Amino acid sequence: MNRYRITFTRNRTVRFVGHLDLAKTWERILRRADLPVAYSQGFHPLPKITFASALPVGCTSECELMDAVLSEPMDPSDVMAPLVPALPAGIAVTSVTQVPLNAPALQAELRWAEYVVTVETDEAPEQIEQKMQAFLAAPTLPRERRGKSYDLRPLVLSLSAEAVHDSSVQIVMRLLADANAGTGRPDEVLAALGWGDAPVQIHRRKLGFET
Amino acid sequence: MTIERELDRILPKVEKPARYTGGEYNSVVKDWDATPFRAVLAFPDIYELGMSNLGLAILYDILNRRPDVLAERVYTPWPDMEARLRAAGVPLYSLETKHPLSDFDLIGFSLPYEQVYTNVLTMLDLGGVPLLASERDERHPIVIAGGHATYNPDPMADFVDAFVIGEGEEVIVEIVEVIRKVKCQIPNTQLQRSAVIRQLAEIPGVYVPRFYDVAYNADGTLARVTPNVEGIPARVTKRIVPILPPPVTRFIVPFVDVTHNRAVVEIQRGCTRGCRFCHAGMVTRPVRERSVEEILAAVDEMVRETGFEEVALLSLSSSDYTHIGDLVQAISQRYGDKRLSISLPSLRIESFSIGLAETLKNGRQTGFTFAPEAATETMRRRINKFIPDQQLLDTAHEVFSRGWRTIKLYFMIGHPDETLEDVQAIADLANAVLKEGRKVHGKAAQVNIGCATFVPKPHTPFQWTSLDSEESIRAKQSLLKQALRKPGLKLSWTEPEHTLLEAFLSRGDRRLGHVILRAWQLGAKLDGWSEHFNIGAWRQAFAEHGLDPEFYTRRSRAKDEVLPWDHIDVAVRKNYLWQDYVMSQQGETRTDCREHCFACGILPTFNSVRMNLPAEAWECPPIPLSHVTKEG
C-alpha cells in the first residue's frame, strides 16, 4: 500500500459542489484515470481517499488536499499524468507527493484555513477598518447557526482588509480548522461584519498544519 | 457575462445550486462565436431527471460530434430558482455557455411523458421565447419536440413549431441541415422563418401542426385532420433507424446525485411481447438488438470515459434479448472483480432471470423487481401478459431462497372490465409472495407492491377504451390499502387526480392547447411533483374553455371514430389494434411475435428499409414475401 498526497484547486464552476458530491467526483476521477486505488474491506467497499477539510459550499480554492491509497507503488509523476485528462474543467491538480503510509491523517494535523474574500460594498475604508477592529476587540461574538448558539470570536485567528477599492474590499481571514477545537466559517464572519447579504467571492488560499 | 454575474447573487440562495452551473465531465463547451449552428436540448423537468434521459444524451452526442454545430443543455428550474430568475430579470440559460434560450437557432424539447407539458411553457417563457408558435418571428429559435409523448402531438401543437415523430438519430441532423441551408439562402426575415418551417415539413417523420386543419363534429369528436397546403403528407410516418447506431459512451458525469446516476447501454430497442396496455411496446417496433461484442466494447469505453460505478443494460424486456445469457456471462467475467455494478431491469418472471441477476450480483443489489401487472387469469388474458400464479410463486420462492429479502411487484388497477375480485386477487397474490419470503427469511422478508392506475394510451389496442371511473379507482385502492396493511407489505399507488391529468393529456386533441396554456397561467407547473400538483387549475382551465376532462378520459370510442392521433402513423395499423382490442374482450391472447408474425404493419411500412438489411437485423420472423402488402 502506498499513500499519495494530491493538491488540487477548485474554481468557480465547481463552487457549489458539496463535500460528499466532491468525494464521489474524486472516486470517478480516479476510476477514469485507472489508478490502482485501494478499497476498504467489508460489505460496502469504498476507495481509500480522505480529504483535509471540507470546502464550504460556494467557495473556490487553490489549496485542497487529499490522500489516496494505491495498491501499487508508483512514481508521483505517474500518478499525476493520468489524472490530468480525467479531471472536470473546474478541478486542477497542482502537485502529487508520496507520504508515509502511517503518516497522521490530514484532518488530525490541520489547524487553520485562510480565506480571501471579496465583498462588494461602497463603505469607506475607515468604516471598514473600524468594523474589523471592533470585531477583533470583542471578547465574545455569540452567534447562532442551525439552531445552535456558539462563540465565533475564538474561531477567528486573524482578520484584515488587504485591499480596498471603490466598490469592493478584499479581506483576509485566518480561521480555526481544528478537529478538536472547532472550525470557523467565512460566511459566519461576513454575517457578523454585516455583510450577510452582500455579493461576495470566497477563496481558500492556504491550509495550516501542525508542523 | 452579465448572466454569470447575476448568478453569483442568485445561486447561493437557491436549493442545490450545482444543478444550474454545468461544467460536468464530458459536457461539451464549444466556442459560441466560432460555431455557426447553435442548438439547445431542453428537458422539461428538473436536472436530476433530465440527466437520466437517454434520448437527449444521444442527441447531445450526435450534434456535438459535428464541428459546425454546438448543442447545449437546459432543464426546468425548481420554483425557488424560477422565482429568483424572474425577480432578477435573468432569462433561463444554457448550462454550457450561459446563453439565454432565445439566442439559439434551435430548441429541442424531449417529451417523454405528458406531465412535463406545462414545464415546456415555463421554460419558453423564462427563456424569452413566445409561448405560441404563431407569435414567433425571425428573431426566435425554431422550437421542436420529440419523445414518446409526441406520438400524440396535437395537445402541444400550439407551442411547438415542428414535432419529430419516432427515432431522432437521423432526423435531428436533417433538421439542422434544413435550417442552416435556408438561413444561408434567405436573409433573416419572417420569410426565412416560414421557409424553414415549410421545408421542415418535407422531412419524413416531421409533423408541422400549422399545415393541418382540424375539423370537429357537433358532439365534440374529430371530423377530420387534413393538410392545408400542397405537398404535405396526409399522415406523418414515424422515423426509425434501420440498425441501432453505435451507443453513446461519453455520458455527462453529474457532480450531484441524479435519479439514475449511471451509464446506460440500450441492448435492444422495441419489444415483441405485445402487452396491450403498453405504449412503448407498440411504438418502438421493430425489435433491433445490439451484438454482444458491441455492448461489451461500449461498457468498456463507458467505464474508461465516465468512471461511473454502475452501468445499466437497458431494454423494454431484457429476458427477450437473444443472447442475454452470453452477455451476462461475458460481463461478469470481465467486471466481476472490478467494482462495477451492472443493472439489468425488466426481467421476466422465471427462474432463468434469477440466474442472470445472481451472475451480476455484487453485494449492492438489495431487491428483485417483477411486473405481473394483473393477478387473475381473465385480466392477464385481457392485457396479453400471461404469467401463471404458480410460476410467480415458484420464482419468488427461488429469489428468497437465494438470499434476496425484498421483492417488488408492479401491478396495475383499472384494466378494462376489471372487477373488485380481480383487485382482491392482487392482494392475495402479494400475501402469497410474502408467505414464500417468510418461509425463508421470517419477519425480514419484504414485499413492496407498486400499484399504478392504468391509463389508456394512443396507438395501443386500448386506445378506444375508457379510463376507470374515479369511484371505482378509489374503491379498488381502498380495498388494497385494507388488504395490504400488514408488516412486510408496502403499497404505493397513484392518486386518482394524477391519473386523470395523465389520461386527458395522453388522448387529448388540439383543443387542449388552450387548456394547457390556461392551466399554466393559473399556476399549474411541475405536474409530475405531488407538492406542486394543482388539479384545480386544470379543472378551471377546462371549464373556461367549455371542455370536459371526462370527454377525453372516461368515454369508449367507436371503432370508426377519428382519433386525434390518426394522422400520426407509428406503422402499427389501426385495424391491427382494433382486432387486438376485440381479441382482448374475448379473452384471446397473442404469442410473442418473434415466433409468429401477426402482421402489425411494421414490415409493409418499412419494407424498403428492411429489404436492404441482413435478414437477422430485425427480430421479425421471416414471412413469405407475398404476404407483405402495402395497406393503410
User: In the A/B pair of chains, how many CB contacts fall below 8 A?
Assistant: 71
Is the model's pLDDT at A147 over the cut of 50? Answer: yes
The whole-angstrom separation of Cα A113 and Cα A122 is 27
Q: What is the mean pLDDT of residues B577-587?
A: 97
DSSP letter at B597 equals -
Question: What are the boundaries of each domain within chain A?
Answer: 2-103, 110-209
pLDDT of the residue at B367: 80
Is the model's pLDDT at B622 over the cut of 90? Answer: no
> What is the radius of gyration, based on Cα positions, of chain A?
19
The whole-angstrom separation of Cα B413 and Cα B555 is 18
Max CA separation in chain A (angstroms): 60
- Alpha-carbon dihedral sign for residues A99, A102, A105, A110: negative
Compute the nearest-CA separation of A95 from chain B (Å).
21
Which chain B residues are Cβ-neighbours of A195 within 8 angstroms?
Answer: none
Share of chain B above pLDDT 70, in %: 97
Contact: B339, A44; criterion CB under 8 Å: no
Nearest neighbour of A21 by CB, restricted to B11, B18, B306: B18
B18 touches chain A (CB under 8 A): yes
Q: What is the mean pLDDT of residues B56-66?
A: 98
Angle between helices B117-126 and B79-88 in degrees, nearest 10: 20
Which chain A residues are Cβ-neighbours of B364 within 8 angstroms?
Answer: 44
Task: For residue B305, give the chain A residue with the closest CA.
Answer: A32
DSSP letter at B103 equals G
* Structure confidence at residue B626 as a pLDDT band (50, 70, 90): low
Is the model's pLDDT at B425 over the cut of 80? Answer: yes
The whole-angstrom separation of Cα B340 and Cα A79 is 22
Burial class of B108 by CB neighbour count within 10 A (0 to 12, 13 to 18, 19+):
buried
* Chain A contact residues (CB < 8 Å to B): 13-18, 21-22, 24-25, 27-32, 34, 39, 43-45, 57-58, 86-90, 199, 201
Is the model's pLDDT at B205 over the cut of 50? Answer: yes
| A101 C-beta neighbours (distance < 10 Å), count | 10
Burial class of B479 by CB neighbour count within 10 A (0 to 12, 13 to 18, 19+):
middle
- Pairing outcome for strands B406-413 and B446-453: parallel
Q: Minimum mean pLDDT among A104-108, B157-161, B190-194, B578-582: which range?
A: B190-194
Is the model's pLDDT at B108 over the cut of 90? Answer: yes
The whole-angstrom separation of Cα B553 and Cα B506 is 9
Which chain A residues are Cβ-neighbours of B309 within 8 angstroms?
Answer: 27-28, 31
Condensed to tens digits (0 to 9), the pLDDT of residues A168-201 reads: 999 999 999 998 889 999 999 999 999 988 889 9
- Pairing outcome for strands A49-51 and A59-70: antiparallel
Contact: B8, A199; criterion CB under 8 Å: yes
The whole-angstrom separation of Cα A45 and Cα B63 is 38
Condensed to tens digits (0 to 9), the pLDDT of residues A14-73 reads: 999 999 999 999 999 999 999 999 998 877 788 999 999 999 999 999 999 999 999 999
B25, B262, B311: best to mutate for the A interface, most A CBs within 10 A: B25
Contact: B18, A18; criterion CB under 8 Å: yes
Across all residues in chain B, what is the average pLDDT? Answer: 95
- Pairing outcome for strands B310-314 and B263-266: parallel
Contact: B307, A89; criterion CB under 8 Å: no
pLDDT of the residue at B366: 67
Contact: A31, B363; criterion CB under 8 Å: no
Q: What angle do CA B129, B132, B134 make, to 5 degrees?
A: 110
pLDDT of the residue at B190: 82
Contact: B22, A16; criterion CB under 8 Å: no
Contact: B306, A28; criterion CB under 8 Å: yes
- Alpha-carbon dihedral sign for residues B153, B157, B159, B161: positive
Cell 477592529 identifies what position? A133
A199-210 burial: b if 16+ Cβ within 10 Å, else e: ebbbbbeebbee
Across all residues in chain A, what is the average pLDDT? Answer: 95
Task: For residue A57, give the chain B residue with the closest CA.
Answer: B12
* φ, ψ dihedrals at B50, nearest 5°: -65, -35
Which chain A residues are Cβ-neighbours of B255 within 8 angstroms?
Answer: 14, 17, 21-22, 24-25, 88
- H or E, element range at A186: helix A186-192
Compute the nearest-CA separation of A82 from chain B (Å).
12
Contact: A88, B25; criterion CB under 8 Å: yes
Question: What are the boundaries of each domain within chain B?
Answer: 2-237, 262-364+570-632
Which chain B residues are Cβ-neighbours of A44 within 8 angstroms?
Answer: 363-364
Which chain B residues are Cβ-neighbours of A39 within 8 angstroms?
Answer: 339
Nearest neighbour of B12 by CB, restricted to A27, A58, A89: A58
- H or E, element range at A126: helix A125-137
Is residue B559 a contact partner of residue B578, using CB atoms and an 8 Å limit? yes
The whole-angstrom separation of Cα A193 and Cα A171 is 11
* Residue A87, C-beta contacts closer than 8 angstroms, at least 6 positions apart: A29, A93, B25
Is the model's pLDDT at B319 over the cut of 80? Answer: yes
**CA separation (Å) from B317 to B73, B240, B268, B346, B592?**
30, 19, 9, 5, 12
Is residue B579 a contact partner of residue B602, using CB atoms and an 8 Å limit? no
Is the model's pLDDT at B283 over the cut of 90? Answer: yes
Burial class of B515 by CB neighbour count within 10 A (0 to 12, 13 to 18, 19+):
buried
- Which amino acid does the sequence have at A65? L
Query: Which residues make beta-bridge pairs with A116?
Result: A172, A203
* Residue A33, C-beta contacts closer than 8 angstroms, at least 6 positions apart: A82, A83, A85, A86
* φ, ψ dihedrals at B147, nearest 5°: 110, 170
Question: Grid coordinates standing for B178?
Answer: 434544413
pLDDT of the residue at B632: 39
Is residue A19 a contact partner of residue A87, using CB atoms and an 8 Å limit? no
DSSP letter at A25 equals H
B339 touches chain A (CB under 8 A): yes
Q: What is the mean pLDDT of residues B31-38?
A: 97
pLDDT of the residue at B625: 55
Cell 447561493 identifies what position? B12
DSSP letter at A64 equals E
pLDDT of the residue at B631: 45
Give the residue, B506 or B336, on which the prediction is more confident. B506
Nearest neighbour of A16 by CB, restricted to B9, B18, B306: B18
Across the beta sheet with B310-314, the strand order is: B263-266, B310-314, B341-343
**CA separation (Å) from B564 to A24, A161, B234, B558?**
47, 69, 13, 13
A20, A28, A29: best to mutate for the B interface, most B CBs within 10 A: A28
DSSP letter at A90 equals T
B23 touches chain A (CB under 8 A): yes
Contact: A88, B24; criterion CB under 8 Å: yes
* Structure confidence at residue B365 as a pLDDT band (50, 70, 90): low
**CA separation (Å) from A209 to A66, A176, A205, A206, B350?**
14, 11, 14, 10, 60
Task: For residue A87, give the chain B residue with the closest CA.
Answer: B25
Is residue B223 a contact partner of residue B564, using CB atoms and an 8 Å limit? no
pTM score of the predicted model: 0.95
Domain A2-103 and domain A110-209 have a common topology: yes
Compute the nearest-CA separation of B436 from chain A (Å).
26
Is the model's pLDDT at B52 over the cut of 50? Answer: yes
B301 touches chain A (CB under 8 A): no
Contact: A32, B21; criterion CB under 8 Å: no
The whole-angstrom separation of Cα A85 and Cα B255 is 17
Closest CA to A190 of A169, A166, A162, A163: A169
Which chain A residues are Cβ-neighbours of B305 within 8 angstroms?
Answer: 32
Closest CA to B174 of B274, B106, B122, B231: B106
pLDDT of the residue at B204: 97
Q: Does domain A110-209 have CATH number 3.30.70.3190?
A: yes
Nearest neighbour of A13 by CB, restricted to B23, B304, B308: B23
Is the model's pLDDT at B559 over the cut of 90? Answer: yes
The whole-angstrom separation of Cα B162 and Cα B517 is 18
Best CATH choice for the domain A2-103 from the list 3.40.50.150, 3.40.640.10, 3.30.70.580, 3.40.50.2300: 3.30.70.580
Task: For residue A58, give the chain B residue with the closest CA.
Answer: B12
* Structure confidence at residue B357 as a pLDDT band (50, 70, 90): confident
pLDDT of the residue at B64: 98
| A182 C-beta neighbours (distance < 10 Å), count | 14
Is the model's pLDDT at B188 over the cut of 50? Answer: yes
209-268 of B, contacting A, C-beta below 8 A? 253, 255-257
Closest CA to B193 of B133, B127, B234: B133
CATH number of B262-364+570-632: 3.30.750.210
* Residue B470, C-beta contacts closer than 8 angstroms, at least 6 positions apart: B496, B500
Q: What SS3 string covers B122-164?
A: HHHHHCCCCCCHHHCCCCCCEEEEECHHHHCCHHHCCCCCEEE
A12, A16, A29, A91: best to mutate for the B interface, most B CBs within 10 A: A16
| B1 C-beta neighbours (distance < 10 Å), count | 6
Contact: B307, A86; criterion CB under 8 Å: yes
Q: What is the mean pLDDT of residues B201-226?
A: 98
The whole-angstrom separation of Cα B16 and Cα B220 is 46
